[in-house]
């Protein structure tokens, strides 16, 4: 696997696209995928206003998060450049009742181009499991902040750099865990190349663009480090355990993923040239 120092020379999103799409679908449709969507939805409900909101989901994958938000009454636009994922999203939306399905709009395109594709002024801007594939997240972060209305919420989910060695270590792969720990990047054929973050580093970057962190959560503190898929019968208990652990230290810092919420300032954007 290419070391982190070489990542800025590559577009990880484009390079991994075929494998990424299938891996995402396989994972997102499982119990652990559903745990992630449940936890993210709970966190969003804590901070969204008690009214229907305009939402854009950048890299919205197969549409599961969009459907959950549409069920809650929000109008959701999904922007994704992968035809396979958008096709899966269309099938998922079509299976919903008409009053839910018509609240979801699917748009093919790059997230960095989204302000030109779908406009701006959104109450909520989601970007989940996207930043980890971007060698340089700067253009995407800039676009996300521009998409948000003044006072709008940004929701970012990505890999936690501080917990990357946990999975291999807890599964007994001592050599893999050590390599991951020393290289600060996941090692082994089972991992697609990714670029991890920390809540603190990502928060600083967003602050420089005019969006201040309001909260962050650990996502899948326990279940993401085990080798087997949880059973459907475990779902309710697992979700509550993961939710409670993801709210508090030190547990949330050990989660494989973190979910950061930031709010765009009411002031003009601070990005260069704006």
Read off the pLDDT of residues 20-54 as tens digits, 9 standing for 90 and up: 676 667 666 788 889 999 999 999 999 999 999 99
Is residue 105 domain-resident? yes
Residue 65 belongs to a domain? yes
| Residue 177 resides in a domain | no
Q: How confident is the model at residue 227 (pLDDT cuts 50, 70, 90)?
A: confident
Q: Residue 226: pLDDT band by 50, 70, 90 thresholds?
A: confident
Count of structural domains within the chain: 1
- pLDDT value of residue 12: 53
pLDDT over threshold 70, residue 262? yes
Residue 269 lies in a domain: no
Q: If you average pLDDT over every residue of the chain, what do you get?
A: 88
- Cα–chain-centroid distance for residue 167? 19
What is the phi/psi pair of residue 163, to 5°?
Answer: -120, 15
Query: What pLDDT score does 7 carry?
Result: 34
The answer, yes or no, to whether residue 105 has pLDDT greater than 50, is yes
Task: Give me the phi and psi of 109, to 5 degrees please.
Answer: 170, 170
Does residue 187 form part of some domain? no
Domain-embedded: residue 128: yes
**Which tokens belong to 35?**
């745990």
- The CATH number of residue 20's host domain is 3.40.50.150
pTM to 2 decimals? 0.88
pLDDT exceeding 90 applies to what percent of the chain?
A: 70
pLDDT band of 81, cuts 50, 70, 90? very high
Burial of residue 236 (CB within 10 Å: 0-12, 13-18, 19+) is exposed
Residue 231, pLDDT score:
87
pLDDT of residue 9: 43
- Per-residue pLDDT averaged across 172-195, rounded? 78
At 255 the pLDDT is 96
Distance between CA 80 and CA 103 in Å, rounded? 17
Average pLDDT rounded to a whole number, residues 199-206 = 98
Q: Is residue 179 part of a domain?
A: no
Domain that holds residue 97: 4-161+194-264
171 lies in a domain?
Answer: no
């Amino acid at each position: 696997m290419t070391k982190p120092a070489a990542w800025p020379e590559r577009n990880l999103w484009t390079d991994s696209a075929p494998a990424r799409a299938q891996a995402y679908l396989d994972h997102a449709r499982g119990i652990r995928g559903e745990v992630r969507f449940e936890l993210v939805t709970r966190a969003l409900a804590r901070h969204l206003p008690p009214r229907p909101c305009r939402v854009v989901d950048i890299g919205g994958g197969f549409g599961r998060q969009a459907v959950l938000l549409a069920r809650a009454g929000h109008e959701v636009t999904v922007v994704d450049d992968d035809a396979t994922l958008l096709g899966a999203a269309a099938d998922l939306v079509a299976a919903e009742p008409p009053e839910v399905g018509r609240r979801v709009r699917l748009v093919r395109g790059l997230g960095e181009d989204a302000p030109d594709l779908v406009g701006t002024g959104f109450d909520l801007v989601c970007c989940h499991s996207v930043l980890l594939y971007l060698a340089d997240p700067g253009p995407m972060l800039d676009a996300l902040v521009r998409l948000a209305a003044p006072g709008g919420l940004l929701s970012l989910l990505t890999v936690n750099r501080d917990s990357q060695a946990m999975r291999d270590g807890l599964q007994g792969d001592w050599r893999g865990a050590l390599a991951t720990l020393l290289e600060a990047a996941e090692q082994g054929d089972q991992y697609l190349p990714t670029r991890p973050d920390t809540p603190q580093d990502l928060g600083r970057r967003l602050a420089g663009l005019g969006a201040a962190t309001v909260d962050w959560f650990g996502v899948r503190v326990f279940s993401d480090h085990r080798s087997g898929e949880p059973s459907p019968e475990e779902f309710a208990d697992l979700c509550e355990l993961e939710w409670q652990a993801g709210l508090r230290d030190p547990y949330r810092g050990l989660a494989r993923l973190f979910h950061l919420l930031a709010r765009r300032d009411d002031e003009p954007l601070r990005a260069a040239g704006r």
